[in-house]
């Protein structure tokens, strides 16, 4: 068999001003051919699982591209076309396809990035089996359902089962190839926008929905995925979905999807997150930190890198300084201008400069940069290797990085937006985060598996950035109404 295996990952926040050119997909753009293979082999990605499964089958493997970018604004049309064209052109003559996709990509020329790609691949290979792994936050569409034979999503958030979802999808595809199963897909999508902070699979309604999905798999469904959707995409339906792969019985799959989706809809208010006023959140963190000891995490989910945040909204840091907090470590803050200034000054120099609030990242109203004075304590290339559990072993790139020590705070500034999903974010610039009194991180969930174990407490802070949990800050123009919670009388 000749099998096409590729990766195209991007979660698009259509309200984000962060640009997404081709160069954003990797250190300097996507990896192609053998480089795409090497970038994934041995890693914890779905594409790595596809490669392993295909190699066990003795298949001829084609890996045209591996392209993954941090969440940001709509993907540039040229970038989207380049990645898709690489995949479609490589599909010619292949016997099967396995794609590692996010599921919530919006491009300048496509509101349904994955659906349009799958439609093109299906047109090229009308009879070949197509298996897809999706992120738990995928915005599923009818095009995606119509043009794939197998769809499996992550079942964890924070995501730690990317490889496992790929292995599951690959297993079902090869079961189809060898006649051991006949995958049949059905899906259901209630008109429900979920808050990302309510899509954690560790507790609450989302945990119960995933448990129902696992129960349906034990009862005979080949795969059941609950996809919370990504609501900060202004498309027709960035809503929660249930996708079921049955074995030859589409009607049974449809009943399972409907049952789980109804369970979700009946407790829809549990998918809604209400933010506390920022001053109250920071004060709560200050109270937790009075006894010293381990750091207190202040999570700035309103400017969350992995939801398309600018990483330069200074609201939480400013409020912390206003309330007299010290022993602060914060970052990574994305400000290429500040990095250039600090790098030019060099380690040991005393510098006064403006930091942050430069990329129109505040969804409420623009604010001026924060003027800071301090000593440059580190300048690095911003690279480190992730220790896990997310993306274990992969090399991470923050762009050039610098640290400004103001006395009350050590501020990590980088050229790129970057999720603090590893202690290496700070350790690579000479900061031991365990020694901080307060860690202000621009994160919702990905930081938690690593930073919660070293902390004495955690407070969620909504900075009113472009990833805020306040839907009222955003003007939806394409969204199909009515939809809950924007329309409390929405029905399904």
- What is the structure's pLDDT at 48? 98
Q: Is residue 412 part of a domain?
A: yes
User: How does pLDDT run across 46-99, given as a tens digit for each residue?
Assistant: 999 999 999 999 999 999 999 999 999 999 999 999 999 999 999 999 999 999
Domain end residue (candidates: 271, 293, 323): 271
* Contact by Cβ (8 Å): 139, 229: yes
* One domain for residues 295 and 317: yes
* One domain for residues 248 and 334: no
* Contact by Cβ (8 Å): 275, 464: no
Here the tokens at position 159 are 């995501």
Count CB atoms within 10 A of the CB of residue 212: 19
Task: Reduce the DSSP state of residue 341 to 3 states and report it.
Answer: helix
The pLDDT of 447-455, averaged and rounded, is: 94
Here the tokens at position 429 are 């610039």
User: How does pLDDT run across 425-450, given as a tens digit for each residue?
Assistant: 999 999 999 999 999 999 988 899 99
Alpha helices of 238-294 — where are they, by DSSP H? 250-266, 278-288
Rounded to whole angstroms, the Cα distance separating 308 from 83 reads 20
Q: Is residue 82 part of a domain?
A: yes
Q: Is residue 23 part of a domain?
A: yes
Asked whether residue 209 carries a pLDDT value surpassing 90, the answer given is: yes
Angle between helices 162-177 and 46-56 (to 10 degrees): 40
Rounded to whole angstroms, the Cα distance separating 273 from 276 reads 10
* One domain for residues 215 and 103: yes
* One domain for residues 144 and 24: yes
The pLDDT of 269-275, averaged and rounded, is: 95
User: How does pLDDT run across 212-227, given as a tens digit for each residue?
Assistant: 999 999 999 999 999 9
* One domain for residues 155 and 295: no
Q: Would you give the DSSP letter of residue 68?
A: E
Rounded to whole angstroms, the Cα distance separating 294 from 331 reads 18
Q: Name beta bridge partners: 107.
A: 75, 110
The pLDDT of 230-252, averaged and rounded, is: 98
* One domain for residues 242 and 262: yes
Domain end residue (candidates: 271, 306, 334): 271
* One domain for residues 323 and 267: no
User: How does pLDDT run across 341-382, given as a tens digit for each residue?
Assistant: 999 999 999 999 999 999 876 666 778 999 999 999 999 999
- What is the structure's pLDDT at 362? 65
Task: Reduce the DSSP state of residue 153 to 3 states and report it.
Answer: strand
Using CB atoms within 10 Å of the CB of residue 232, give its burial: 0 to 12 exposed, 13 to 18 middle, 19+ buried.
buried
* One domain for residues 190 and 309: no
Here the tokens at position 232 are 């900060």
Here the tokens at position 82 are 């380049």
The parent domain of residue 456 ranges over 278-468
* One domain for residues 301 and 253: no
The b/e string for 279-299 (b: 16+ C-beta within 10 A; e otherwise) is eebbbbbbebbeeeebbbbbb
* One domain for residues 219 and 292: no
Q: Is residue 490 part of a domain?
A: no
Q: Name beta bridge partners: 285.
A: none
* Contact by Cβ (8 Å): 332, 312: no
Asked whether residue 196 carries a pLDDT value surpassing 80, the answer given is: yes
Percent of the chain at pLDDT above 70? Answer: 99
Q: Is residue 481 part of a domain?
A: no
Nearest Cα to Cα of residue 225 among 101, 135, 144: 135
* One domain for residues 23 and 130: yes
Asked whether residue 390 carries a pLDDT value surpassing 80, the answer given is: no
- What is the structure's pLDDT at 364? 66
Asked whether residue 137 carries a pLDDT value surpassing 80, the answer given is: yes
Rounded to whole angstroms, the Cα distance separating 288 from 280 reads 13
Here the tokens at position 188 are 């259901």
Here the tokens at position 35 are 């480089």
- What is the structure's pLDDT at 142? 98
Lowest mean pLDDT among 28-37, 185-194, 217-226, 392-401: 392-401
Number of domains into which the chain is organized:
2
Please calculate the CA angle 25-31-32 and round it to the nearest 5 degrees: 135
Q: Which residue has the tokens 């290496």?
A: 424
Nearest Cα to Cα of residue 226 among 250, 260, 249: 260
Mean pLDDT for the chain overall = 96
Q: Is residue 482 part of a domain?
A: no
Q: Would you give the distance in Å from CA 294 to the centre of its chain?
A: 28
- What is the structure's pLDDT at 145? 98
Q: Is residue 477 part of a domain?
A: no
* One domain for residues 11 and 31: yes
pTM score, two decimals?
0.92
Here the tokens at position 317 are 């840091």
Asked whether residue 420 carries a pLDDT value surpassing 90, the answer given is: yes
Angle between helices 278-288 and 315-322 (to 10 degrees): 60
Q: Which residue has the tokens 């990590």?
A: 412
- What is the structure's pLDDT at 261? 98
User: How does pLDDT run across 148-168, given as a tens digit for each residue?
Assistant: 999 999 999 988 899 999 999
Q: Is residue 489 part of a domain?
A: no
Task: Reduce the DSSP state of residue 97 to 3 states and report it.
Answer: strand
């Amino acid at each position: 068999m000749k099998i096409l295996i590729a990766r195209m990952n991007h979660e698009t926040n259509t309200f984000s001003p962060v640009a997404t050119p081709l160069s954003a997909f990797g250190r300097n753009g996507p990896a192609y051919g053998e480089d795409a293979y090497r970038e994934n082999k041995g890693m914890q990605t779905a594409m790595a699982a596809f490669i392993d499964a295909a190699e066990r089958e003795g298949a001829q493997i084609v890996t045209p591209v591996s392209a993954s970018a941090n969440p940001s604004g709509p993907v540039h049309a040229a970038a989207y076309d380049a990645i898709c064209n690489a995949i479609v052109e490589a599909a010619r003559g292949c016997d099967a396809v396995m794609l590692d996709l996010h599921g919530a990509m919006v491009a300048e020329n496509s509101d349904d990035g994955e659906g349009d790609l799958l439609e093109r691949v299906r047109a090229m290979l009308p009879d070949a089996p197509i298996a897809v792994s999706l992120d738990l936050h995928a915005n599923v569409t009818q095009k995606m359902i119509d043009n794939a034979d197998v769809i499996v999503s992550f079942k964890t958030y924070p995501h730690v089962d990317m490889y496992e979802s790929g292995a599951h999808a690959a297993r079902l595809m090869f079961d189809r190839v060898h006649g051991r199963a006949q995958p049949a897909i059905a899906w259901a999508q209630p008109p429900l926008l979920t808050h990302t902070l309510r899509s954690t699979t560790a507790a609450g309604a989302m945990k119960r929905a995933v448990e129902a999905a696992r129960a349906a798999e034990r009862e005979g469904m080949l795969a059941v995925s609950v996809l919370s959707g990504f609501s900060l995409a202004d498309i027709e339906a960035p809503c929660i979905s249930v996708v079921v792969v049955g074995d030859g019985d589409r009607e049974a799959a449809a009943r399972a999807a409907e049952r789980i989706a109804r369970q979700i809809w009946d407790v829809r208010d549990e998918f809604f997150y209400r933010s506390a006023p920022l001053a109250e959140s920071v004060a709560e963190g200050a109270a937790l930190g009075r006894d010293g000891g381990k750091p207190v995490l202040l999570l700035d989910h309103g400017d969350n890198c992995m939801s398309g945040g600018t990483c330069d909204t200074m609201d939480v840091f400013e409020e912390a300084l206003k309330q007299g907090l010290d022993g602060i470590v914060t970052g990574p803050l994305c400000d290429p201008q500040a990095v250039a200034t600090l790098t030019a000054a060099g380690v040991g120099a005393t510098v006064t400069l403006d930091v942050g609030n430069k990329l129109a990242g505040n969804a409420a109203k623009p604010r001026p940069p924060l003027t800071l004075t301090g000593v440059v304590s580190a300048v690095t290339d911003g690279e480190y290797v992730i220790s896990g559990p997310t993306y274990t072993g992969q090399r991470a790139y923050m762009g050039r990085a610098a640290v400004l020590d103001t006395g009350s705070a050590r501020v990590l500034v980088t050229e790129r937006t970057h999720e603090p999903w590893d202690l290496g974010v700070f350790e690579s610039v000479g900061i031991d985060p365990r020694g901080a009194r307060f860690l202000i991180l621009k994160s919702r969930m990905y930081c938690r598996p690593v930073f919660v174990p070293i902390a004495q407490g955690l407070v969620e802070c909504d900075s009113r950035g472009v990833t805020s949990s306040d839907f009222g800050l955003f003007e939806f123009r394409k969204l199909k109404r009515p939809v809950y919670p924007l329309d409390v009388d929405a029905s399904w």
